[in-house]
Every structure is written in C-alpha cells, then in structure tokens.
Amino acid sequence: MGVAPLYPIICALKDAGNEVVSIIGARTRDLVILENEVSAVSDRTLVTTDDGSYGRKGFVSDVFNELAAKGEKFDMAMVIGPVIMMKVTSSLTVAAGIKTFVSLNPIMIDGTGMCGGCRVTVGGQIKFACVDGPEFDASMLDWKELINRLGSYRDFESRAREKHECRLEGVQA
C-alpha cells in the first residue's frame, strides 16, 4: 500500500530533475501495484516480493543492502509501507548517512490532533501524524513508542474482524 502515497512524491522528485531509483515491495505478485506508473517516472524500478512470486525474492531492505554493497550512493530516501518495514529499511538508510523520511498512517480518528490517536514522538517532541505529518525524519522517530501505540488497538481490531460479516461476498459486478 505504500506505493500509492509514494507515487506523487516520485513524480515530484522526477519533475524537479532528480534521478529516482524506486524499490517496490509486496508480499506476493498479486499485491504489487502501480509498477508501470512508477517505472514511467523512475530511472530504475526494482520489484521485490516476500515469497519470490515476482521480481526479486526478499524485502525492500534486502534490495537496498545490495545496492549499497555495490557502492551506490543516495541523497535521500522516502520509505512508506508497513511500520516494521519502514523501521528496518530506514535504520539501514540512516546508518548509511542518507536523509530518510517515513510516511506514517497510524489510526487517525478526527484528523485534528485532538483525539491523540496518531500521536508520535519525533526528536523528543510530541507530534500528530494527522496534522504535523504524515512525513517525518526517520532518524528522529521513536520507533519503539510508535510500534507499541499501534499494538494497543490489536485486540479491538481482532474482535472487530472476527465479528465482521462481509456483505460484498458473492456480489456480481
């Protein structure tokens, strides 16, 4: 899902005259989206799937490690997707001295910051993803707090998923 919000960023970076290397990752081939669109505005597009059903088998972080091992240099990284992927990948890019931004999409209830559901600590300061973000400097993010806060809703989400009855199953288009 991180490719969708990343696509306009890629377009803007390319329009500004930057060389753009895009790494798209998904669990399986069926979940790879916007590959053609991203490829059209990127100098290179590398695709990886966790199960190896398409592109390179592995994770976005594995592809970044391979590029870095070959001596490729990058000025900036935008990492968007599942939190654990963003944490792992940005830890590598930050360690390599690359200015890295992540885009957070925690639960946002009211979009004003008043509910506090999307609260994160960045550089020791409280921020709200809905009004202060969603992009933040990955090197300043309190990843442990973010992961713990996202996990606080896990039980509620599991119960809701168990009770949910899909009304679209079997509907003909």
Regions of the chain with pLDDT less than 70: 1, 169-173
The answer to whether position 172 is within a domain reads no
29 within 8 A of 52, measured Cβ to Cβ: no
CA distance 34 to 13: 17
3-state secondary structure of 66: helix
Domain-located, residue 112: yes
Q: Is residue 85 part of a domain?
A: yes
User: Angle at Cα 6 formed by Cα 35 and Cα 126, nearest 5°?
Assistant: 155
Do the beta carbons of residue 32 and residue 47 sit within 8 Å? Answer: yes
52-68 confidence digits (pLDDT tens)? 999 999 999 999 999 99
pLDDT at site 110: 81
Predicted TM-score of the model (pTM)? 0.85
Domain of 74, CATH number, reads: 3.40.50.80
Q: What is the token pair recorded at 159?
A: 């119960």
Give the pLDDT of residue 150: 83
Domain that holds residue 60: 3-163
Residues in the chain: 173
Question: Is residue 83 in some structural domain?
Answer: yes
- How many structural domains is the chain composed of? 1
